[in-house]
Structure formats: C-alpha cells, structure tokens
C-alpha cells in the first residue's frame, strides 16, 4: 500500500540541498539580457520615444519599441483552448504598447550583454507621454463618458447566475440581512520571481525555458503572439519556486521568444525584479460585494444573493472568469437555499489582476460568511449551530448545476471542530466582556471544486516506462510547482502497479515536445485529474509485465499479480516467481521474446466533486492598541481520502498562513489618483513571516468520493478561503464591530473603533 502513507517528498532532498535546478540556475553561452522601459504614469499615450542614448551605450545590442513588435493582440490567461470562441479569454495585450494602461506598463525593451548594462540602457530611453484620465475604481472607470482603457469600453463582461428564486426567498423571509464587503488587491509574493529565457535551436524553432505553471498553454500563446505554428515552439519547465496562480498566466515568455527570434536565435533572458513583479505580473482581483440574505427565526437560510464588482486592472488576463468561478465554487456550500449572483468585471488603471490561490472563492466566501454571522448576531443564534443546520449533506443537489453531492464531510468537520476546538466553552467565556482586551471566537465554512469541468476541458496524460533494473519512470504532464504533486503521483503509480514507492521515479521537468499533454497546475486539479491517467497507465504497464512474466514462468497470465515488486501467484501471494527487475532484464535482453515495456494514457475527466471545510479561531483584540492576537486557529477539511497526511498538513498550513496574511496584513497600497503602487517590495508590503503566525492546527474528515479513482478531492487552494471570515467574525464577537473591509489592520481597527465609540479619536497634531 502507498496511498495514505506519509512518504517523504520525492523532491525534498534536491531542494533542501540546493541541487534542484530552477530556471535561473541554467545559462547558455552568449546569453543576452533584456530590461523593460516602463511607463511613469498609469494612463496615457506615448507621443515620442528616443532610444539613441541607449543604443550608444557599450554592450547594448538592441532596443525595441511598440513599433517593432507584431501587431497581434493575444491572450495571457492560463486556460486550456476552448473550441467555443465565445468562451475564450479576451485578446487585449501586445508585447509592447504606446497606450499605457497602468503604472509600469512596457513601452520599450533593451537587450544587452549583461543585466546591469540592460538596466542602464533602459534608464537612457527618453519617453514623452500625453496623459489620460487615471481610473482606479468602478466609480470612475464605469462612469458615463469615461475614457476607454480598451476599445469597447471599460466594462469587460457581466453575468448572472441563479439557483432557484433568491429574490422571492429573501423578500418572503422573516429576517433579512444586508452588507457591503470589500477585499484588497494583493500580490502572490512567490520567492522565485518571474523569469524565463528563449533561444532558437534550429531555424524558426524556438525553445522557451520558464518558471511556469502552464507549459503547454505557454506554448500556444507564444506561437499566437508571434504568428508562428504551435509546433515551432517548445517550452521546458524546470523546478518552480512557487506560483500561487501568478504563473498560471503567460507572462514574459512571448517577449523572450520575440527577442531571440529577432536577434537570430541567440539566447535572451527576461527576468522581472521584485518591484516589477508587483507592477507588471499579476495580482488578486479586488472585489466590492453587496450581499443580502433571508433567514427564518430558527436560523434556516432561505436564500441569498451577492452583487459583485471585480476590478481586473489594466488588462483582462483571467478577467471575468475569476468572478464567475467564485460563484460556481460556493454554490455547493448551502445547497438547500436559493442562490443569486450578479457579477461585473471592469478594466481600470491598476496593475493587471489574474489567477491567485482560491480563484475568486476567498472574496465571495468572505462576504457570504460575514453576512451569515451578521444574521446570527442579530437573531441571537449560535453561528456554529446555524451552519450545521444549513451546510451541504450527502445527497444534496447543487441548485445551480443540478449535480448531486456524493461526499460531504462538512457537517462532521463542524462537529469535530466543536469538540477539538472546545467551541461551546470558549464561546461562553467570551460573553459580556467589558475590558480593554476582549476575546472572541469565530467560525467560517467553504466549498470548492476539484477542477474546472465543465467550464474547461480536463485532460491529463501519463507515460510509464519500465527500466532495466525494475524501476519505473513516470512522465506526467501535470506540473509540480511546490505543492507535492509528484510525490502523490508516485504513490498512485506504486499502489496500482504493485511495486514499492521507491521504485517509481517521477520526471518532474515538463517539455512540450516530449511530455504527455496536461494544461497545467491550477484549480486544485492536479491530483484529481491526473489520477485516472496514472491509474490506467499503471494498469496497462502491470498487464504487460505480467504477460511477459507468464511466458517466462510458463503460467497463465490470469493467475499472476504483482505485490511489492514481485510476480506472485494471485491465489498464493507468498509464492514468489520472479522479481519485476528480472522480468525487465528479460524484456530488454532475452534473445527472442519481450521488448521495452511502456504504457501511455491520455484521459479526460468529466466529474468535478466539491471539497469542503471550515476554520475555527479564538483571538484577542486590544482596543487601545488596535491589535489582533490569534490565540488559536484550526482548519478542518473534507478532501476525500487523504493521499499523504504529511503533505496534506503542509498544504493546509501554507494556505492558512496566506489566509491570515490576507485577513490581517496584506494590501497593495495604490494611490487612487495617480495609480502609483506605493509599496512594491517585500519590505513595505507586509505579509506574515513565521514569527507573525500563531501555531497552525488542522484535521481531516476523510470521506470517500466515489467519482474519484482514489477517493480523494481537492486540497491545494481551499485552506486559504475560510480563515479571513472566521477572523472577522471573531472580532465581531469580541468587540461588537463588524469590519467588512480587508485587511483588518491596526489602521482600519482604529477607524472602526473610533466610529463605534470604543476608543477616543487621537488629537490631530
């Protein structure tokens, strides 16, 4: 058995010893380096550009402007190709632009023999602009007569999703609750910055080496951006130092490919500084949400609706998909109530928003779960009991897509959390407080999907090869970006094949010319969608091994099986006939029978079961210092069968840390008038380090998902979703103040506490 055991990560030793090679660890003879010339205003047009000083600098080999790049608009979002043109992402980006749409937009790029010279050359390019109105919010961007950021206006897309009749349910409810909620623009802050390089290995055939979550999609987008056939582009993904969704976008790969192409195939590297990652890669969409729900006096949720405004920034990237995905993911949470969701996504002069861990769910769950607690507070009900009465149960049907929920461990998560967290005792201790330091407890729930189907195709490929020594190479299209997928893939292969875990070697580098197809790492899909391909490939390989073993041992193939790397009689597993290594040696070297034993499977998944979970938190609020201290925090998850408990715990802890950062620390501070980012670095942008986080606890309620090959469901993104509303709800209990805007910093606490007369406003000096 391999599934469910705490095997050490297959890449752990390479990473902790520094042997793992990331994109920046590779170099090539004659490598050139590129540096952008970035706009110094958030909205305007370039009226003149002078590159003469840069071109005169020794070591500068070329300067390109918007006039030199192909007049092709392309998509950047990391979604698999859709045969339905109406469902494809928006094409609104060129390699360089003369219509700058955010502070730091690329208007030119300098190529030099070393990074420092490229940077010096970029500083010598003189650009003159005609300023245009800067619009950073919906009020200005969607105003009548607003300057269009893109042709067609500033409303990117809008949609409406319904499950039942939410307006009627709310209107007829004995109790109604409303609220306005706002979530911030934040950055992924992956330790490895955005980096890639490109070269031409033969005329017209480009190779791109990139730190990306989506090598196959990068291939198609690079080809499209340059007007080349897809087959003329090869993408290689080495180890990746984190992505969290930022690298689920085609970022600098088209530019690196263009520069190499223009310079005759020499290798050209494009690496963004940390400041550039803040300005010119991707962020999380800021949401403004108006919510309303209807409930009866006993806490039965009758219906709710959310009205969402999503700010996509200067370019579409994933655009309206984020807002739509948020609705689809939460529709499983309270399926017996009517559900309404109206969403609009608009362009603004902010840095471009794209995919980020949770993909819209953290924003909408924050609004919904805060509104649930507001209703419970008004009705004097226990918010845990109300959730237990309303959350999804096995057999419920999603009101939007009409899919049956076959595994739902959320009620048990809440019950177990009540016991482990000592909810009743802690809640009783937090009643009727009057001191300057007050405690509160909070809870919040979530639901999430396990891939993108039916919105997107869910295809995965796996290839297995038996080596001469009996070990097995597993080549998988799914991308390991730090989440541990390669390890659980090895566990799946070992269990199904019948060999020890140590005999499986996962080839972690993806190469689009060689590797089986998979669109990439996103949507918490990897283990769920790759599992059928691995399972089928392992069964194929096992059958071929046993077929040769039957010939060698003069047995009926149906009487044989594999256990722990040995061929045994199925009815007498203690009877070892030969090892897999012996079978393999005969396959390669027997004079007359056998041959290399391989298998390959491509599989499309057409199921998408929801995972569930919740967060419990106990915290203290110092009214005078406007400070929140988390005393205890715990996540409980229904992710189906847990494939590797140690890796699962690590995923949950990582997500909880990000969720706490989103709730209490993180925001990109952007001047609303100029669009300038004031804190584009890891000193001024505040996210929690290990010393800022409390002890993180988690537990798992293991259900068995019948639509899954190994009984499991998604886990990668869900841990980030529910900490923020749980923290907000605990602050509400402690202080009586409902803070509906994230992050909940001392600054925002001070403002709200003054408004609630909990503290006096400090005198202005």
Q: What is the three-class DSSP state of 433?
A: coil
pLDDT 10s digits, 127-150: 999 999 999 999 999 999 999 999
Contact of 681 with 364, CB cutoff 8 Å = no
Per-residue pLDDT, averaged over 75-101, amounts to 95
CB 166 within 8 A of CB 725: no
pLDDT per residue as tens digits for the range 149-175: 999 999 999 999 999 999 999 999 999
pLDDT at 540 over 60: yes
Residue 225, helix vs strand vs coil: helix
Dmax (CA) for the chain in angstroms is: 95
Q: Are 749 and 732 in contact (CB under 8 A)?
A: no
Q: In Å, what is the CA distance from 456 to each residue of 78, 223, 382?
A: 11, 21, 39
Compute CA 593 distance to the chain's CA centroid, rounded to the nearest angstrom.
48
Instruction: Summarize pLDDT for 110-131 with one digit per residue, the tens.
Output: 999 999 999 999 999 999 999 9
- Rounded to the nearest 10 degrees, what angle do helices 485-497 and 526-553 cross at? 30
**Which of 441, 422, 423, 444 has its CA nearest to residue 433?**
441
pLDDT > 60? residue 742: yes
pLDDT digits (tens, 9 = 90+) for 3-28: 999 999 999 999 999 999 999 999 99
pLDDT value at residue 10: 97
For residue 393, pLDDT beyond 60: yes
Question: Is residue 205 over pLDDT 70?
Answer: yes
Residue 412, judged by CB atoms within 10 A of its CB (0-12, 13-18, 19+), counts as middle
Provide mean pLDDT across the span 722-748.
Answer: 98
Confidence category of residue 507, pLDDT binned at 50, 70, 90: very high
| Confidence label for 656 from pLDDT (cuts 50, 70 and 90) | very high
Q: How far apart are CA 42 and CA 348, in angstroms?
A: 10
Q: Which residues of 123-149 are buried (b: 16+ CB within 10 A; e: fewer)?
A: ebbebebeebebbbbbebbbeeebeeb
Instruction: Give every strand in the sheet of 696-700, ordered side by side.
Output: 437-448, 611-622, 627-638, 696-700
pLDDT reading at 734 higher than 70:
yes
Tokens 């009758």 sit at which residue? 302
Backbone angles phi, psi at 621, to 5 degrees: -120, 120
* Confidence (pLDDT) at 762: 83
From 268, 125, 281, select the one nearest 194 (Cα to Cα).
281
Q: pLDDT tens across 289-325, in order?
A: 999 999 999 999 999 999 999 999 999 999 999 999 9
Question: What is the pLDDT confidence band of residue 765, given thresholds at 50, 70 and 90?
Answer: low
Q: How much is the average pLDDT of 345-364?
A: 98
pTM of the full structure: 0.97
pLDDT of residue 213: 98
Q: How far apart are CA 427 and CA 381, in angstroms?
A: 12
- Whether the per-residue pLDDT at 763 is higher than 90: the answer is no
Q: Which pairs from 152-156 meet CB under 8 Å and 24+ separation?
A: 154/346, 154/347, 154/348, 155/344, 155/345, 155/346, 155/347, 156/90, 156/312, 156/316, 156/319, 156/320, 156/345, 156/346, 156/347
- Report the distance separating Cα 40 and Cα 676, nearest Å: 9
């Amino acid at each position: 058995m391999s599934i469910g055991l705490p095997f050490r990560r297959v890449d752990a030793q390479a990473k902790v010893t520094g042997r793992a090679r990331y994109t920046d660890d590779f170099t090539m003879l004659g490598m050139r380096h590129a540096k952008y010339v970035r706009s110094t205003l958030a909205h305007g047009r370039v009226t003149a550009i002078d590159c003469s000083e840069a071109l005169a600098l020794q070591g500068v080999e070329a300067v390109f402007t918007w006039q030199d790049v192909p007049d092709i608009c392309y998509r950047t979002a990391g979604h698999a190709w859709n045969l339905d043109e109406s469902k494809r992402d928006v094409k609104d980006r060129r390699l360089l632009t003369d219509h700058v749409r955010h502070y730091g937009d690329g208007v030119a790029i300098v190529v030099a023999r070393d990074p420092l010279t490229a940077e010096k050359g970029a500083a010598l390019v003189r650009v003159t602009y005609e300023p245009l109105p800067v619009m950073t919010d919906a009020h200005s961007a969607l105003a009548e007569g607003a300057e269009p950021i893109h042709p067609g206006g500033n409303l990117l897309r809008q949609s409406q999703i319904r499950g039942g009749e939410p307006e009627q349910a709310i209107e007829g409810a004995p109790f109604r609750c409303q609220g306005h909620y706002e979530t911030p623009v934040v950055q992924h802050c992956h330790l490895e910055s955005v980096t890639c390089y490109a070269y031409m290995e033969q005329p017209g055939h480009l190779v791109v080496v990139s730190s990306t979550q989506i090598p196959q999609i990068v291939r198609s987008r690079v080809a499209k951006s340059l007007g080349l056939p897809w087959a003329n582009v090869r993408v290689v993904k080495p180890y990746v130092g984190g992505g969290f969704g930022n690298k689920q976008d085609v970022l600098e790969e088209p530019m690196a490919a263009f520069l190499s192409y223009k310079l005759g195939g020499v290798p050209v590297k494009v690496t963004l500084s940390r400041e550039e990652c803040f300005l010119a890669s991707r962020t999380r969409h800021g949401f403004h949400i108006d919510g309303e729900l209807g409930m009866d006096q006993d806490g039965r949720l009758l219906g709710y609706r959310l009205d969402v405004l999503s700010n996509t920034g200067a370019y579409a990237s994933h655009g309206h998909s984020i807002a739509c995905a948020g609705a689809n993911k939460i529709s499983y949470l309270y399926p017996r109530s009517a559900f309404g969701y109206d969403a609009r996504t608009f362009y603004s002069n902010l840095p471009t928003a794209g995919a980020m861990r949770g993909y819209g769910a953290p924003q909408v769950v924050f609004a919904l779960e805060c509104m649930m607690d507001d209703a419970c507070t008004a009705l004097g009900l226990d918010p845990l009991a109300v959730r237990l009465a309303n959350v999804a149960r096995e057999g419920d049907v999603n009101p939007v897509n009409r899919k049956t929920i076959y595994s739902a461990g959320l009620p048990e998560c809440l019950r177990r959390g009540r016991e482990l967290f000592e909810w009743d005792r802690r809640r009783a201790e937090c009643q009727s407080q009057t001191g300057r330091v007050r405690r509160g407890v909070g809870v919040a729930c979530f639901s999430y999907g396990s891939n993108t189907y039916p919105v997107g195709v869910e295809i995965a490929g796996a290839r297995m090869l038996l080596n001469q020594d009996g070990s097995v190479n597993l080549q998988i299209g799914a991308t390991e970006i730090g989440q541990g997928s390669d390890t659980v893939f090895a566990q799946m292969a070992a269990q199904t094949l019948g060999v020890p875990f140590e005999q499986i070697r996962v080839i972690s580098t993806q190469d689009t010319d060689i590797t089986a197809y998979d669109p990439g790492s996103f949507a918490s899909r990897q283990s769920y969608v790759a599992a059928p391909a691995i399972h089928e490939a392992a069964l194929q390989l096992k059958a071929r091994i046993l077929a040769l073993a039957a010939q060698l041992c003069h047995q009926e193939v149906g009487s044989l099986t594999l256990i722990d790397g040995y061929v045994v009689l199925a009815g007498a597993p203690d009877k070892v006939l030969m090892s897999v290594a012996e079978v393999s040696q005969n396959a390669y070297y027997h004079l007359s029978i056998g041959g290399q034993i391989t298998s390959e499977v491509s599989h499309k998944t057409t199921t998408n079961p929801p995972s569930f979970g919740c967060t419990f938190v106990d915290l203290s609020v110092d009214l005078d210092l406007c400070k929140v201290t988390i005393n205890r925090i715990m996540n409980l998850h229904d992710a189906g069968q847990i494939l590797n408990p140690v890796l699962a715990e690590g995923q949950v802890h990582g997500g909880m840390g990000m969720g706490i950062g989103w709730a209490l620390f993180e925001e990109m501070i952007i001047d609303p008038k100029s669009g300038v980012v004031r804190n584009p670095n890891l000193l001024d942008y505040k996210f929690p380090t290990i010393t800022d986080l409390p002890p993180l606890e988690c537990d798992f309620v293991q259900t068995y998902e019948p639509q899954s090959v190994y009984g499991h469901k998604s886990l990668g993104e869900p841990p980030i979703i529910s900490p923020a509303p749980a923290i907000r709800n605990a602050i509400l209990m402690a202080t009586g103040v409902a803070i509906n805007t994230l992050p909940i910093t001392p600054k925002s606490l001070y403002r709200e506490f003054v408004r609630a007369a909990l503290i006096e406003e400090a005198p202005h000096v």
